Homo-oligomer: A and B are copies of this chain.
Amino acid sequence: MLSKPVLEDPIFVEGLPGFGNVGKIAANLLIEFCSAKPFAELYSPSFPDCVTVNTTGICRLPRYVFHAAPMEKNDFLIMTGDTQPSLDDVVAHYGVCSQILDFAEEFGCKFLVTVGGVAASEDKTEVYVAATSSRLAAEFMEKGSVIYSKGRIVGASGLLLGLAKERGLESVCLLGTTTGFKVDRGAGFSVFKFLMKALGNEVKEGL
């Protein structure tokens, strides 16, 4: 932890690399929109055993970064990162996600939003939602998303959602539709815009 921000009843938002990179793009747009500041990093031996190197040749281990955004309406605690844990070690993934929830609870988060991508279907849905309660599912459906009823959400977005439910935390997962063939900035923007609208913020198209 680099510093300890004071946040009031913050909403936790998670967006990591994945299908179409929708989650990471949405999280980064939110960070930009809120001018959120990084304040903590998470390293784990279950992340890939490699370093990422930036264009100036500086290396660093794969990590998750937590950003704080004190806002007028809702404070945000936003997590994004370089990677997801190795597929081989499911037990470690449960451990990492539990640590993340511990951390979020320390800052008083009671509501979590996880963001991911999902294969586009024929009905032109832009954002699907799954939730920890029927009240929340109904609330986000009213705001324009469609109930996700295809069975499973894999990876951190699903696991955080399920573990949050076990702890009695409210949580929704928003899934932006994408072909997934490449980094899908459009899908990331759609989910970001929907999330902002759902939380009562307005986002202009030209961001």
Contacts of A154 in B (CB 8 A): 48-50
Mask for A101-134, Cβ within 8 A of B = 1, else 0? Answer: 0000000000000000000000000000111111
Taking a contact as CB atoms under 8 Å apart, the answer to whether B88 and A58 are in contact is no
Name A's B-contacting residues (CB within 8 A): 43, 45-61, 86, 88-95, 97, 129-134, 137, 141, 147-156, 158-159, 161-163, 165-166, 173
Name the contact of A137 in the complex, choosing from B57, B153, B158 (C-beta under 8 A): B57
27 contacts between A and B (CB under 8 A): A45-B95, A49-B90, A49-B154, A49-B155, A49-B156, A49-B158, A50-B152, A50-B153, A51-B130, A51-B152, A51-B159, A51-B162, A51-B173, A53-B152, A55-B147, A57-B141, A57-B148, A58-B131, A58-B134, A58-B137, A59-B162, A60-B162, A61-B162, A61-B163, A61-B165, A88-B89, A88-B90
Kindly report which residue of chain B lies nearest to residue A96, judged by CB atoms.
B49
The 4 residue pairs across chains A and B that have the minimum distance between CB atoms: A45-B94, A61-B162, A57-B147, A51-B162
Taking a contact as CB atoms under 8 Å apart, the answer to whether B153 and A51 are in contact is yes
Contacts of A57 in B (CB 8 A): 129-131, 134, 137, 141, 147-149
Kindly report which residue of chain B lies nearest to residue A94, judged by CB atoms.
B45
A91 to B95, CA, bound (A): 12
A186 to B43, CA, bound (A): 37
Taking a contact as CB atoms under 8 Å apart, the answer to whether A165 and B59 are in contact is yes
A54 to B137, CA, bound (A): 11
Name the contact of A91 in the complex, choosing from B45, B51, B130, B159 (C-beta under 8 A): B45
